[in-house]
Chain A
Amino acid sequence: MKFPRIKFTKDSLATLLLLLPALVLVGFFVYFAISWNVVVSVSNWKDYSLVVDYSFGGFRQYEKLFADPIFLTSLKNNLILIAIFVPGTLLVGLFLALLLDQKIRKEGVFRTIYLLPFTLSFVVTAFLWRWMFNLDNGVLNYFLGFFNLTSDWIINPDIALYCVVIPLIWQFSGYTMLIILAGIKSIPVSHIMAAEVDGASGFYLYRRVIIPQLKTSIATAFVILIIFALKAFDFIWILTTGGPGTATYILPLYMFRSSFMDTKFAYGSAIATILLLLVMMIVVPYLYKTYRGKEK
């Protein structure tokens, strides 16, 4: 549809004015701040100093990173976290979604309960689970005590990282369930009926007809869970502060410690830049695939 020329210009100006606040704020707080952070990471800003120095100091922070055992441990822990947390949460979430899809009574009540953990702050999750993990009086050891199976959970450096995953699965399963449930509801009934006419039923129907059609929602959940596992901070910071030793250190935690506890701002910024690159490796293909060619 064509509009008179004058009208069109007036509208473009209005369009720009309406977009301006968001563009300025996002441009400044996201893109400018990210660039600023990169500048700090290659600056001469001295360790243990609060005096800002933006003069170019080369890439020595990045060189230091890959010789730093704590950085390498954090990177490794991040990858282990992804490898356990993401499939674990997807499986539980898928299971919950299939259960709730059985035309049960009180579906809304169960959905509200399963999603409840996801609405809690990570600070709260950490507090509740520190208590759950408590050696003498925690719920986990209380129940395992009946079988003489108590554990030292997050105090034990060998298993601490795996223990951290349990509350995270607890918190994110309901959310994954919701995404998958939305996917199930969007499958056209005709597809399912056609399969039933062909004699498919029960588990076969799920395995061959329903689950394959959930590819998009499972992919979405997959991406969101990986990104979360890369940038998780609050929860682990309060639950273990990265300990015992560096057993549960991950990149965001080490960045925070380097910048704000050790006062090594250039070094912390370099860790943050690496973290950003890792996240973008997932986000950019995802956004490209989701929004490409949708220009109206």
Chain B
Amino acid sequence: MKLHFNRILLYIILIFLAFVTLLPLWTGILTAFKSEQDLILTTPVEFPLSPTLDPLIETFGLMARPIMNSLVFTITATILSCLLGSITGYVLALHAFKGSNTIFVLIIVGIFIPYQAVLVPLVLIMSRLDLYNSLGGLILTHTAYGIPICTLLFRSFYAEIPKSLIMAAKVDGAGIWTIYWRIVLRLSVLPFIVTAVFQFTNIWNDFLFGLVISRGVESMPASVELANLQGGFVALWNLQMAGTVWYTLPSLVVYLVLGKYLIRGFMTGAVKG
């Protein structure tokens, strides 16, 4: 609804706020291209006098393996949690039975719990299963804790499928699995993209689980490795920012390319773990 005040003033405010929002990223990216000399000679918002790729090259060696680790467990856990969320959301949305609403609420409680309340048992579980400090352990953890939000998202999408379609299939003798496989899955392209983008961003950004169940190069996530750089590069802000650039790049690309699906996911889920 239009307010009747100065349109120019409106755009000035909008652009100013966009500028404020982007400022931390602006200074971070610029700093990643500065030599130690330029760190002193230029202000934090200025371009480097002699732009250099050295900080990015130096941190690439450190971040490459953790970024690979993160890609592997993020993509795998995204796929698994989406599949499980899709099946669960399908049953709860389209085959409601007595108590299905209660089951749904009990599942989505998992979205809200503070993970601190499961952290000590989680470490014990992972050591018992011999999954401590392994990509498998991270995949299992992120899949399990991803199911609640994926179930919520898929259930909202599937609730919009016309009930008559499901009823007709039932009358034709199709079982619950056949309906899913033959009908619902084919209508699921958009839900899968939205949920997958949402989950990719969530898991990629995780720090806490990686911090407690991974210890070495075999499974170290990029988020944890980046946090470790802080100790190794005290006051070397160009290197810290270069590491940040590497870690942010994959999720930033996903946002810039598939942002509208992520926005859809945020609006449907209205939740972030």
- Does B60 count as interface, using CB distance less than 8 angstroms? no
Contact B95 A33 (CB under 8 A): no
- Does A175 count as interface, using CB distance less than 8 angstroms? yes
Contact A121 B167 (CB under 8 A): no
Query: Given that A102-B10, A104-B10, A116-B255 are contacting pairs, would A15 and B97 also be in contact in the complex, using a CB cutoff of 8 Å?
Result: yes
Contact A18 B175 (CB under 8 A): no
The one of B4, B13, B114, B167 in contact with A276, judged by C-beta atoms closer than 8 angstroms, is B114
**Number of chain B interface residues as a range:** 35 or more
Assembly CA distance A137 to B11 (angstroms) = 31
* Binary contact readout B169-210 vs A (1 if CB under 8 angstroms, 0 otherwise): 010000111001000000000000000000001001111100
- Does A83 count as interface, using CB distance less than 8 angstroms? no
* Binary contact readout B258-273 vs A (1 if CB under 8 angstroms, 0 otherwise): 0100110011001110
Query: Given that A122-B207, A123-B247, A202-B4 are contacting pairs, would A259 and B112 also be in contact in the complex, using a CB cutoff of 8 Å?
Result: no
Query: Given that A25-B143, A104-B10, A220-B270 are contacting pairs, would A233 and B208 also be in contact in the complex, using a CB cutoff of 8 Å?
Result: yes
- Does B227 count as interface, using CB distance less than 8 angstroms? yes
- Does B68 count as interface, using CB distance less than 8 angstroms? no
Q: Which residues of A lie under 8 Å from residue B272 when comparing CB positions?
A: 118, 175, 224, 228
- Does B72 count as interface, using CB distance less than 8 angstroms? no
The one of A101, A234, A259, A287 in contact with B108, judged by C-beta atoms closer than 8 angstroms, is A287
Contact B97 A12 (CB under 8 A): yes
Assembly CA distance A23 to B101 (angstroms) = 14
**Number of chain A interface residues as a range:** 35 or more
- Does B28 count as interface, using CB distance less than 8 angstroms? yes
Contact A33 B121 (CB under 8 A): yes
Q: Which residues of B lie under 8 Å from residue A127 when comparing CB positions?
A: 28, 226, 230, 240-241, 243-244
Contact A30 B109 (CB under 8 A): yes
Q: Which residues of A lie under 8 Å from residue B113 when comparing CB positions?
A: 30, 34, 276, 279
- Does A178 count as interface, using CB distance less than 8 angstroms? yes
Assembly CA distance A118 to B43 (angstroms) = 27
Binds A, one of B15-23, B49-57, B131-139: B15-23
The one of A12, A23, A170, A205 in contact with B21, judged by C-beta atoms closer than 8 angstroms, is A170
For the complex with contacts A22-B147, A128-B244, A255-B116, 17 further pairs of A-B residues with Cβ separation under 8 Å are: A18-B176, A19-B88, A30-B109, A99-B13, A113-B18, A114-B17, A115-B266, A118-B266, A125-B24, A128-B25, A128-B28, A130-B240, A142-B43, A142-B44, A238-B227, A275-B116, A291-B105
Ordered by A's residue number, 28 sampled pairs between the chains whose C-beta atoms are within 8 Å are: A11-B175, A15-B176, A18-B90, A19-B91, A25-B84, A25-B144, A34-B118, A36-B118, A111-B263, A112-B256, A112-B259, A120-B248, A121-B223, A121-B247, A121-B248, A121-B251, A122-B207, A123-B207, A123-B226, A128-B27, A170-B24, A174-B21, A178-B266, A202-B5, A234-B207, A259-B120, A260-B119, A291-B101
Q: Which 6 A-B pairs have the closest CB atoms?
A: A121-B205, A231-B114, A33-B118, A36-B121, A29-B144, A276-B117
Where the two chains meet, the residues of B that have a C-beta atom closer than 8 Å to any C-beta of A are 1-5, 10-11, 13-14, 17-18, 21-25, 27-28, 31, 39-40, 43-45, 84-85, 87-88, 90-92, 95-98, 100-101, 103-110, 112-122, 124-125, 141, 143-145, 147-148, 151, 167, 170, 175-177, 180, 201, 204-208, 212, 223, 226-227, 230, 237, 240-241, 243-244, 247-248, 251-252, 255-256, 259, 262-263, 266-267, 270-272
